[in-house]
Structure 1
Amino acid sequence: MSASGNKQPILQVEDLAVAYGHIEAVKGISLSLNEGEITALVGANGAGKSTSLLAISGLVKAQRGRVLLHGQDLLQMSPHRIVESGVVQVAEGRATLTTLTVEENLGLGAYTRKDKDGVARDLEWVYSLFPVLKNRAAGLAGNLSGGEQQMLAIGRALMAKPKVLLLDEPSMGLAPLIIQEIFRIVQEINKTGMTVLLVEQNVRQALRIAQRGYVLETGKIVLEDSGANLLGNPKVVEAYLGG
């Protein structure tokens, strides 16, 4: 179904289940991210999208399943080791450190790295992606607008030099023009060869830029196809696109 039959999976999620007490929020999902592609995980609020990302990042404990990065199971690692292995999450709600400067926030993203020259190059790359951050580098992160804070959160994650970037609801609470800009930048990042897993309630925007997509409903994956095919799927149109 994918137009990228020759691409290799970089990350595979197998039978991942997560429960909060007696409530199973994620009910044994399996999905595969091809290297260098954007994969969208879409669905309504409360479907289990964010919980899935938190489990992949090691920030909530999975009941069962495996998350394999090049065959290595991330669920056996601590969250900071997962970051060091190359899987980095931009959390929902941005979580910028508001009392630090923009540049200090970006520097924290590189805390696992020892290659000073590479860090300096990546800082310039982040500033080229987000010129507004360069202009505000010495200012406090707390003085940024919501859209600028989202840019800072993505930039900080990029400073960790991820192989796989996990984006949790990057468009949440932002004005339409800023949302367009964020999605454009996600495509720019992907053009460098970075693999992206995009969790979004904004189903149309997410599927428009994703090579592959999965639809999650009440903790289960109910549809899987190319982004373009899902955009044209009557079930998706009816449930999520106001059809």
Structure 2
Amino acid sequence: MSPILSIQNLSVSYGHIRAVKNIQLELNAGEITALVGANGAGKSTSLLAVSGLIKANAGKILFDGEDLTTLSPHQIVQKGVVQVAEGRAILTTLTVQENLDLGAYTRKDKAQISKDLDYIFHLFPVLKNRASGLAGNLSGGEQQMLAIGRALMAKPKVLLLDEPSMGLAPLMVQEIFRVLKEINQTGLTILLVEQNVRQALKIAQSGYVLENGEIVLQDSGQNLLNNPRVIEAYLGA
């Protein structure tokens, strides 16, 4: 089975600093792939390159056979690759409903948009209850739910998630990861960037470990959870 998205020899630099060094990564359709590692390893940079928000110095990012590195960020979204940014980046002065409506701005299929909105409210009942309220009045966890919901309203084929558990209380972290599993079970392909290595690898079918801009390990999520190197470095043996 050929991957739905393939990162090939990707390198990204900030000035003279090489943040990502010739990484190779593949996403299989319908799977969760986790990209894990310590802060500063190059995880978010890799994701931003896929989204087109940072330009690669070298390499290709192939999505359904097309090289995304030649496209602008809005073209990449239109192709079906949608990112939930680190820090959520919701529009706090708009209502919850308005944020969700903006997620569907590239779409014209009004009947399906309405069905998708119902699905978001099924996933996150709190958003339905707070739909007319300002997004800025939501808790951190609720804002993360809104950010995920807004991305889903774009009808992605691949969902990119950048540190969705960051800054959240433990119970909310559990809820976010439960929802990601539920979303994945609908067939949506997910690339999950996380510092919470244990939680990410628990729900991922496959995983990559990034250290100092380089992929150092690649395996199934379960095997990485049991890998002594991962345990020692990230899981507190």
Fold-level similarity (TM above 0.5):
yes
Q: Tell me the distance in 2 between the aligned counterparts of 1:149 and 1:193.
A: 24
Residue 62 (str. 1) matches residue 56 (str. 2): yes
Q: Tell me the distance in 1 between the aligned counterparts of 2:109 and 2:69.
A: 27
Task: Provide the secondary structure at the position in 1 that maps to 2:4.
Answer: strand
- Structure 1 position 61, deviation (Å): 0.7
Residue 210 (str. 1) matches residue 204 (str. 2): yes
Amino acid at match of 1:58: G
Q: CA RMSD in A?
A: 0.5
Which of 75, 85, 91 lines up with 2:85 in the alignment? 91
Task: Provide the secondary structure at the position in 2 that maps to 1:216.
Answer: strand
Residue 110 (str. 1) matches residue 97 (str. 2): no
- Structure 1 position 201, deviation (Å): 0.2
Which of 147, 157, 173 lines up with 1:153 in the alignment? 147
CA offset digits 1:112-163 (Å, max 9, x no partner): 0011111111111001000000000000000000000000000000000000
* Count of residues paired in the alignment: 237
- Structure 1 position 92, deviation (Å): 0.3
Residue 28 (str. 1) matches residue 22 (str. 2): yes
Matched with 1:130 is 124
Which of 157, 171, 187 lines up with 1:163 in the alignment? 157
CA offset digits 1:211-243 (Å, max 9, x no partner): 000000000000000000000000000000011
Task: Provide the secondary structure at the position in 1 that maps to 2:167.
Answer: coil
Q: Which runs of 5+ in 2 are unaligned?
A: none
Task: Provide the secondary structure at the position in 2 that maps to 1:9.
Answer: coil
Residue 177 (str. 1) matches residue 192 (str. 2): no
Which of 94, 114, 130 lines up with 1:100 in the alignment? 94
Residue 141 (str. 1) matches residue 119 (str. 2): no
Task: Provide the secondary structure at the position in 2 that maps to 1:133.
Answer: helix
Q: Percent identity?
A: 75
Task: Provide the secondary structure at the position in 2 that maps to 1:172.
Answer: coil
- Structure 1 position 8, deviation (Å): 3.6
Q: Tell me the distance in 2 between the aligned counterparts of 1:109 and 1:14.
A: 29
CA offset digits 1:167-195 (Å, max 9, x no partner): 00000000000000000000000000000
Which of 34, 38, 56 lines up with 1:40 in the alignment? 34
- Structure 1 position 66, deviation (Å): 0.5
Which of 227, 238, 241 lines up with 2:232 in the alignment? 238
Q: Tell me the distance in 1 between the aligned counterparts of 2:109 and 2:24.
A: 35
Task: Provide the secondary structure at the position in 2 that maps to 1:98.
Answer: coil
Residue 219 (str. 1) matches residue 213 (str. 2): yes
